[in-house]
Copies of this chain bind each other. A is one copy, B any other.
């Protein structure tokens, strides 16, 4: 019977037969999730079968409660069907009553609930990301500030390496510098480099492109890029470029043609122009990035010629320089239909190329599988910022924020995320935390053990600091005496741990401990029989924790300290320092 209490449960249920709640993960396998009011149900069953078969032939399978946020439990299960045509209904065993749940809603009997339909798993629609992402550890470089490898291409009026960055000053960093420092990066252990823009542009950040086909002369040329990619590949490091396709620089040839020829320009439909001639005062009469940034005219990607021009660029750099993917600047303001064509072009040119959007908010509409592989995971960053750096939320909110972010997306995208704690667009994490090195180490530990690729913003690993842009874009500190050697060692250790652990790179994620009183957070990563249990102590004092395991084991190795622990009756007793964490391997 549906009593009053059960009614509240019904209102909390969320399932749709698409998006992040029903997505194929293999040729014949559909992963489904359902969200239900927290702690309200004992069990969720799924009855499913081929859409053309009678209900009597249906199979029943129990769902697993994979996680929870403050309000909801999330259940998940994988359905296998050789015919790939799914019909399914939920049977929810509630604490205060049972209900069927289907496409017609909640009901006392199956027929009135109806069936959800996932009509067919089509190969052309399947979301696949490059297999290598699971092993990926990213290093983000702002080329003008990383290393100056070639003094001959330096801009005039160079500021001194180490000086304070200003919006418009230059320090001479270049691609030759990156090539020179590859041994450092290899030693650190990263295997993906994401470079902010490198194409010809008058600015130090180069987000105002003049020529998408030319490497900025202060950075190098086509040969330098080819060498960078080849040398990187030789060391097992992939290279990702930054595609600034939302807007160009005002010195881009097409925009200059419009400036010169006005209404008669053959490029006038490449932009969003209100009137001719082009003017910038009192405000620009053309659409720009953000509001009235006159140096960045917005490109009109609805225009076929613009599309074709940009897609050629996307293909060109993969073909010519063998780059391994594109990060897409301001990608949420460019149309979905362009990104669909972009994915098609990029994957056709290089099947294993990666596509990462810059989206700071819910990116679900771009992560359906037809556009990007992943995004810069600012939802992850925001959660760590609030919890670890600012301590403005507790562990329960933190865990909930991570769960919510993961449940927004299909797992293919979750494993391909760029999990960052800082970037060229934020203050450095060490600054956010009030220069608390323990906080930074804790954030790094979470990054290195979470689902998705950890992304290190150049220099964060040696303790570089910086407030918001331009301060976060300081020159790299190459003098080892000035580096935080202890921090660097810690980063290297974490990276090595992650790379050696299939559980940490490829494993499923489940929350294990969310202790709001002691501010303890723990989770399990499992891959086959391999398991890693990560536990962090967010309070600034040492705490002894009893980690109850949901599996049997006799002993565990803590990977940071190398210590061995005995498991007694499925419990590991372990001391964790203040603002620190441990990684137990089983």
Q: What is A's interface to B at a CB cutoff of 8 Å?
A: 7-8, 10-12, 14, 16-19, 37, 50, 52-53, 69-72, 83, 85, 103-105, 115-117, 119-120, 122-125, 290-291, 301-302, 332-338, 340, 359-362, 364-365, 370, 401, 404
Contact = CB atoms under 8 A, between A and B. Distances in A.
Contact of A337 (B50, B125, B337, B360): B125
A332 B119 contact: yes
B120 A332 contact: yes
B10 A337 contact: no
A22 to B, nearest CB: 10
A337 B103 contact: no
A302 B16 contact: no
Given A116-B362, A119-B332, 16 more contacts: A11-B71, A11-B72, A12-B12, A19-B19, A52-B291, A53-B291, A70-B105, A83-B291, A104-B401, A105-B404, A115-B361, A116-B361, A122-B335, A125-B335, A337-B340, A340-B340
Contacts of A11: 8, 11-12, 37, 71-72
21 contacts: A7-B71, A8-B11, A10-B71, A11-B11, A11-B71, A12-B12, A19-B19, A50-B291, A71-B105, A83-B291, A117-B362, A119-B332, A119-B333, A119-B361, A120-B332, A122-B301, A122-B334, A122-B336, A124-B301, A124-B336, A340-B370
Given A124-B302, A291-B52, A337 B370 contact: yes
Candidate in A37, A124, A290 with the most chain B CB atoms within 10 angstroms: A124
**8 closest A-B pairs (Cβ-Cβ)?**
A122-B335, A119-B332, A124-B335, A11-B12, A124-B302, A120-B333, A117-B361, A18-B365
Contacts of A334: 120, 122
Contacts of A72: 11
Given A17-B362, A18-B365, A290-B52, A336 B125 contact: yes
Nearest to A360: B117
A338 B338 CA distance: 16
Contacts of A365: 18
Nearest to A38: B11
Nearest to A111: B392
Contacts of A359: 119
B340 A117 contact: no
Contacts of A14: 14
Candidate in A11, A72, A302, A340 with the most chain B CB atoms within 10 angstroms: A11
A493 to B, nearest CB: 33
A18 to B, nearest CB: 4
A124 B8 contact: no
A122 B370 contact: no
Contacts of A16: 362, 364
Contact of A103 (B7, B85, B103, B361): B361
A98 to B, nearest CB: 18
A18 B364 contact: yes
A291 B119 CA distance: 13
Nearest to A383: B104
A338 B124 contact: yes
A422 B122 CA distance: 30
A295 to B, nearest CB: 15
A535 to B, nearest CB: 26
A502 B415 CA distance: 52
Contacts of A290: 52
Contacts of A333: 85, 119-120, 122
A361 B117 CA distance: 7
B302 A122 contact: yes
A212 B335 CA distance: 34
A115 to B, nearest CB: 8
A123 B364 contact: no
Contact of A123 (B7, B117, B122, B302): B302
Nearest to A122: B335
Contacts of A360: 117
Contacts of A335: 122-125
A332 B105 CA distance: 21
Nearest to A119: B332
Nearest to A298: B120
Nearest to A272: B123
Nearest to A106: B71
A547 B390 CA distance: 58
A298 to B, nearest CB: 9
A291 B361 CA distance: 43
A141 B10 CA distance: 42
A370 B19 CA distance: 15
A239 to B, nearest CB: 28
Nearest to A307: B124
B125 A370 contact: no
